[in-house]
Amino acid sequence: MLINGSETNNLISEVIGKLRDKNTIPVDFRIYLKRIGNYLAYEAARYLDSETLEVETPLGNSEFRKIKSNIVVISILRAALPMSEGVLEVLPNAKFGVISASRGKKLRDDGKDFRIDCTFSNIPYLEDKIAIVVDPMLASGSTLLFTLQQIKKQKPAKIIVLCAIASQFGIERIQGEFPEAIIIVGAIDKELNEKGYIIPGLGDAGDRAFNT
């Protein structure tokens, strides 16, 4: 399943525009990443498990739905940290895990596949849990594919992917390997250049967030 937030939510579209702007300074870039994490988490909430509870009002009783505490938010370091903070603001009872997975050697001249170097991983127990994977940029899909392969081994009940911007190629690659995953993105760009960068994209999210 694929949800493109910019098509249905003006707030998401506005924040994506600010992230794309080359004049957005690092401190503001981090704020907007956090905000897109908020918004995409709201979109994801409709696919989370809930239970019906009852509350007593001053004039009677009323039922409401509460999200169950079976969620693990997984941040792909480093660029996803501000965005993950936004997700955790919306889902404060979620457990949190990280994986340091980054591009290595290019495996295709057209920039559509890379070796992935993983230097650190600390992910809570996932069996029967809902795994929400946060990665600002879904470009070639190599990093996300590697991450999902590690996650799938733990047999989560559901996988939800949150990305600020995704390439059409990356989406199709992930859907081909993980058709059951719910992919929620802020915007979709069609082009991927020979370096594996999304065009027009927003540049390197990690560099822009942390001024490197």
pLDDT of amino acid 56? 96
Note the Cα 18 to chain centre separation in Å.
18
- Cα 95 from Cα 104, distance rounded (Å): 29
pLDDT of amino acid 1? 86
Domain count of the fold of the chain = 1
CB 121 within 8 A of CB 100: yes
pLDDT of amino acid 54? 96
pLDDT of amino acid 16? 97
Which range marks the domain in which residue 103 is found? 2-210
pLDDT of amino acid 154? 94
pLDDT of amino acid 114? 83
pLDDT under 50: residue ranges of the chain: none
CATH value at residue 160: 3.40.50.2020
Q: Give tens-digit pLDDT for 46-66.
A: 999 999 999 999 999 999 999
The DSSP code sequence of 47-100 is: TS-EEEEEEEETTEEEEEEEE-S-EEEEEETTTHHHHHHHHHHHSTT-EEEEEE
Q: Give tens-digit pLDDT for 116-147.
A: 888 899 999 999 999 999 999 999 999 999 99
pLDDT of amino acid 161? 98
- Cα 13 from Cα 211, distance rounded (Å): 24
